[in-house]
Structure 1
């Protein structure tokens, strides 16, 4: 059996752990630069605030009732890790699907004990982390997803629901479930399915898998088998090395200052190098881009990018930063108000498939090993002592590229200066 554990209103729940007064109040978490609402409590949903709504577009009487917070990704990431640690105590097979969802395998566990086991697991997660979770159980990931949704929405299941693939209850529910609610079926696919007379999950389950594969793809074929209770959608794609690595960010405010762009590009290239090392890869080129705000018609428009080849394939942040800076020098244009910049690592390979160009430089094994040890030490320090404990260069406190996060709460679990204070 497979269980999907989903943290309820995860970002909001993380905030409520350290601010209990937010319970039962309409709370929303905003995106980067406080642009729009990306996470909502049930209370703010009940007020009619949709996902993605910018705060300035809310009706004044609605806005006054809401508590809007800036994204606190350091806190959310650490709380996600803590939840996963608890889940790992109940089964050794935990596949993290996203920051707030994990698939668990309970193969070998007696089916009749799973509801009680998952209730105990759910209680421990809430006790140890403060995060409420819902659990859906079935024989396939797609049915576990559907079961999780029912566990969250239907009070009678008390947060844990097991969905037997061939039960009358499952059939009745799938007969009224639109195909748009199925994991892996996008809007365009749903429109094409309707032309074939398939509008509900049960109709899709009863369709010919081979016929659908011919009209769609192997993914749709697998969805049919999943709805029948056969687990056939692998999560391996989530852990495959990326072919490109992009790091970019919009500025907190527009800037003409070249130093702002240099600091941002240096930070982005360093972060990209960290991601590259994590997947054990090397980059052979780096793309650097800058652009203005296309919505500001009152200002000159400018968008430019450049690809800078590396002298040798590398994952060393120093090499990546040096190449990125060289690219920025070539595309920077004075007198322009910039809104965003970023980097993309390209032509990725592993250490065994490195290709040396005609003009490339071959590093000695000794130098490469020394550089790899240095980067490994840097990553370890940042992993154990907090992000940016060691970095290339120090940013100024008044730079324009820092995120606008006027309503961010403290990073209670990852920053010594922002620990929660208890008064007695």
Structure 2
């Protein structure tokens, strides 16, 4: 029988902040979205104060009960690196790891010797010791059961962050006590549809006739039911699926009206998209630009999204040229722009047939981009960048509560003091 695990970082963004500031151990912490907009991560202490996911910061911070909350701007460089550290710890202890999101990873546990409960506890402790991220681990004979077990481990403190659903009798007990909306793959509309039929718990869903499930929820719902019954339908992927698109979009730190500033922002977004392309050894053959005003502040509404086929490339310089040319065609004077972005589609493996006839010499292009990526990887993102992305960059999203990038910037690492 296959055994899959799922490990999940608890309040991951907040835990990354706590990892370098031990004084925050029991304090309520909230991490905000881009532009310091709304709450996107909360510790248990913050939840207990009534801070809800999506609460706007400019309202939430004024509530009396929010006075003890420590607020942070999103620090994605830190979070991504901490996720990498967590992945490396796991990779050294299990045969295979499949990242599901920045803070969730599936584990291959099939056939491992010894006590599985003890092994998962050891994995949990190792992630805490080496990456300082508290986690929960759930495991079972399918990925859907592992995901459910992880949720139970998180919701029930008596489980101490570990939940084993490999035994069908134990599964049956939990299924009878667990709401159907806790199942991975069962969304809000599906939950409403099932509850209208009297299906309230996971046990109710599992007991339904498979043909009925297929008729109501199509093959997707039938697969979820099969997984909950212990039939593995979703294998662990050692090679991630090729991306369909790459996007780099942001709201501006302030409303922009002048073309030079918008051009800088678009060049920056193209640069970030190009870095993502090269990280996955891909090239893009289609580029789109989007630009819009703010729909909520009473400004005249303007939104446009245009695209064009391009010569397959991952060269930052080429993508900036295509992006800014398209953006200039989209930009219209007289509007206050709120957001822009670059979207790359028609992705394909780098160095394909099209590269043989590229207008820029592939060898020189690859060497230049490799050198730039290597320097930025060693000394910090953006240390070397095209001048077209700007120097002062006053349009960047607000991040007034940004912590140090402790693990990716030499000038921001933790300093030790001797007494």
Query: TM bucket by the smaller chain?
Result: over 0.9
8 Å CA contact 1:55–1:63 kept in 2: the answer is no
CA RMSD of aligned residues (A): 2.3
Matches within 5 A, 1:209-248: 209-234=210-235, 236=237, 239-248=240-249
User: Structure 2: where are the runs of 5+ without partners?
Assistant: none
**Match of residue 280 from structure 1:** 281
2:70 equivalent to 1:67: yes
2:362 equivalent to 1:363: no
2:159 equivalent to 1:157: yes
Please state how far the C-alpha of 1:394 moved relative to its aligned partner. 6.1
Matches within 5 A, 1:215-364: 215-234=216-235, 236=237, 239-297=240-298, 299-310=299-310, 312-350=311-349, 362-363=357-358
Please state how far the C-alpha of 1:301 moved relative to its aligned partner. 2.8
**Match of residue 400 from structure 2:** 406
**Match of residue 208 from structure 1:** 209
Query: Greater CA deviation, 320-329 or 143-152?
Result: 143-152
8 Å CA contact 2:98–2:238 kept in 1: the answer is no
Supply the distance in 1 between the matched residues of 2:239 and 2:292 (Cα, whole angstroms): 30
8 Å CA contact 1:293–1:338 kept in 2: the answer is yes
2:107 equivalent to 1:104: yes
**Match of residue 189 from structure 1:** 190
Q: Aligned residues, how many?
A: 415
8 Å CA contact 2:108–2:236 kept in 1: the answer is no
Please state how far the C-alpha of 1:99 moved relative to its aligned partner. 0.8
2:371 equivalent to 1:377: yes
User: Structure 1: where are the runs of 5+ without partners?
Assistant: none
**Match of residue 89 from structure 2:** 86
TM-score (norm 1): 0.91
Supply the distance in 2 between the matched residues of 1:322 and 1:394 (Cα, whole angstroms): 10
Please state how far the C-alpha of 1:197 moved relative to its aligned partner. 3.3
Please state how far the C-alpha of 1:236 moved relative to its aligned partner. 4.7
2:143 equivalent to 1:138: no
Query: Greater CA deviation, 149-158 or 112-121?
Result: 149-158
> Deviation digits for residues 384-408 of structure 1, max 9, x if unmatched?
4332232222644543321201011
Supply the distance in 2 between the matched residues of 1:393 and 1:235 (Cα, whole angstroms): 43
**Match of residue 10 from structure 1:** 12
C-alpha distance 331-237 of structure 1, shift in aligned 2 (>3 A): farther
Supply the distance in 1 between the matched residues of 2:98 and 2:13 (Cα, whole angstroms): 20
Picking from 30, 34, 50, the partner of 1:32 is 34
C-alpha distance 411-217 of structure 1, shift in aligned 2 (>3 A): same
TM-score (norm 2): 0.92
Picking from 115, 124, 133, the partner of 1:113 is 115
> Deviation digits for residues 46-96 of structure 1, max 9, x if unmatched?
111111111233262122121111111111111111111111121121111
Query: Greater CA deviation, 324-333 or 70-79?
Result: 324-333
> Deviation digits for residues 78-120 of structure 1, max 9, x if unmatched?
111111111112112111111111111111124x601111112
